[in-house]
Amino acid sequence: MKKITILLSIFLLISCQNFGQLKVLGELPGGLKEISGNEIVAGSDLIWIHEDGGNKSEIFAIDFKGKIKIELDIKEKNNDWEDITSDEFGNLYIGDFGNNYSSRNHLKILKINKKDLDKKEVEVEEIEFEYEHQDKFPPKKKDRFFDAEGFFYFKNNFYVFTKSRVADAYGKTSLYKIPAKKGKHTAKKIGSFNNGKESNAWITAADISEDGKKVVLLSQKNVLIFTDFKSDNFLSGKVKKIPLEHQSQKEGVCFKDKNTLIITDEKAGRKGGFLYELKIN
């Protein structure tokens, strides 16, 4: 009887919300309220997720209904984990580069080897970086463009998309390139894009399709699809904007296939905490 009551409550909660183009696949695990990134490893039917700073150093693999299948304890502090990606070999990478005040000068990407994904406790390899052109930690408020919540791996490099903390320029994002190998690197800027002035234009996640022909950026207000770009300046070329009618703190996006996205949002009160699908063709 208790189980039926819980299921009925979830159904009523979902049915009372307008999700627009988003299709609800399932509810995210109840104890995970601040999901900040998601990733599907090529050839897998699981979605890897994690929470951001202030939460435990764990990552989880869930199915397409939101049920936890694997739980990994990562032996590295969760300073501010903001996104997760993978390479062609099935290795996972966590972006520990949340930087609300642009004050961090030891930003990291954590590598988890594929061979360790079936363990309960995992050691990681650190890839350190700093942004070129940043010489103050923190800079003045008008120059705080060095936060980031989205990145992906592509052809032996990482591509990080910054999140602006500057008033009236919240939607500005810059694209930085970092070698995907152990060491200390300088992130090189290769492009930029402006998604708007308001805070709902913040770029909160990113991914690239398996064929490398589409790049997606996520914000609270829309999904941006970039195509026909020049080389690896993914912010050049054509852009398609898909408005999101459903309002919640969306912080995770990845490609399920070249025409389908998986999106996650944080749970706040009666909003969010779901796994969504979005068709983009």
Q: What pLDDT digit, counting tens, does each position of 170-186 carry?
A: 999 999 999 999 999 99
How far does Cα 14 stand from its chain's mean position? Answer: 24
> Domain 21-279 is of which CATH architecture?
6 Propeller (2.120)
State pTM to two decimals: 0.93
Residue written as token pair 């070249």: 258
- Give the neighbor-by-neighbor strand order of the sheet with 47-51: 35-39, 47-51, 58-62, 68-74, 121-122
pLDDT at 2: 53
pLDDT > 70 fraction of the chain, expressed in percent and rounded: 94
Contact 274, 24 (CB under 8 A): yes
DSSP label at 254? E
pLDDT at 270: 81
Contact 232, 159 (CB under 8 A): yes
> Average pLDDT for residues 22-29, to the nearest whole number?
96
For residue 199, pLDDT over 80 is answered with yes
Cα–Cα dist 170/163, whole Å = 7
- Neighbour count for residue 94 (Cβ, 10 Å): 27
Cα–Cα dist 208/27, whole Å = 25
Q: Who has greater pLDDT, 14 or 232? A: 232
Tokens of 14: 């979902």
pLDDT at 12: 45
Q: Per-residue pLDDT tens for 244-257?
A: 988 899 999 999 99
Sorted by sequence, the CB contacts under 8 Å of residue 140 that are 6+ apart come out as none
Cα–Cα dist 152/150, whole Å = 7
pLDDT band at 15 (very low <50, low <70, confident <90, very high): very low
pLDDT at 3: 53
pLDDT > 90 fraction of the chain, expressed in percent and rounded: 87
Rg value, the chain, Cα: 18
Contact 20, 277 (CB under 8 A): no
> Average pLDDT for residues 45-53, to the nearest whole number?
96
Mean pLDDT over each residue of the chain, to the nearest integer: 93
